[in-house]
Amino acid sequence: MWTDNLRNMDQIDKLVFTCLILVLVSCHSPNEKIKKVIIKYLPEETTVMIPVTCDNLDYIASVLLRTKTITDRAFLEHLNKEVNKLKPERQEKSIDIRIKLLIEYESRSDTLCLGEFFDTILNGELMEDNPKLLNLIKSEIY
């Protein structure tokens, strides 16, 4: 009887340990370095008849869409710093995207979408706008 309880404890310990490892592995470090960024964007002041979202940017404006890949270490470090400052937006609002970034880290990638003057979405979640982040990106593409 006593040995059965001990075996059950060993199984519970193994399960807790396995869950802990999975949680730690799935968490990402905010200090993880960016390898490169691929930016897809529309020319400044482009007007589109329907709202552009993160998902449909590639299709709706494919004729006008421009692409730039950035590997400059100084830019990527500054970008990482500003992206890590983003906080979830508390209200729902309509969005209109003009810039889409695929941010590639060592072990994962993020998608950041921005409007020309406002609207910020990180991995599908609406975020509070960060003017420094928007200006940093616009300085590289326009």
Domain presence at residue 4: no
Residue pair 126/92 in contact (Cβ under 8 Å)? The answer is yes
Domain presence at residue 86: yes
Q: Which two tokens stand for residue 11?
A: 């199984």
CA pair distance 22, 31, nearest whole angstrom: 20
Predicted pLDDT at 13: 59
Domain of residue 92: give its range.
30-141
The residue assigned the tokens 């075996």 is 7
CA pair distance 111, 121, nearest whole angstrom: 8
Rounded to two decimals, what is the model's pTM?
0.77
Domain presence at residue 7: no
Domain presence at residue 48: yes
Report how many domains make up the chain: 1
Domain presence at residue 96: yes
Phi, psi of 37 (to 5 degrees): -130, 130
Domain presence at residue 88: yes
CA pair distance 48, 50, nearest whole angstrom: 6
Could you list the pLDDT tens digit for every one of the 142 residues in the chain?
555 554 555 665 555 444 334 434 444 455 799 999 999 999 999 888 888 999 999 888 788 999 999 999 999 999 999 999 999 998 888 889 999 999 999 999 999 999 999 999 999 999 999 999 999 999 999 9
Predicted pLDDT at 27: 45
Count H helices and E strands in the chain, helices first. 4, 6
Domain presence at residue 90: yes
Domain presence at residue 25: no
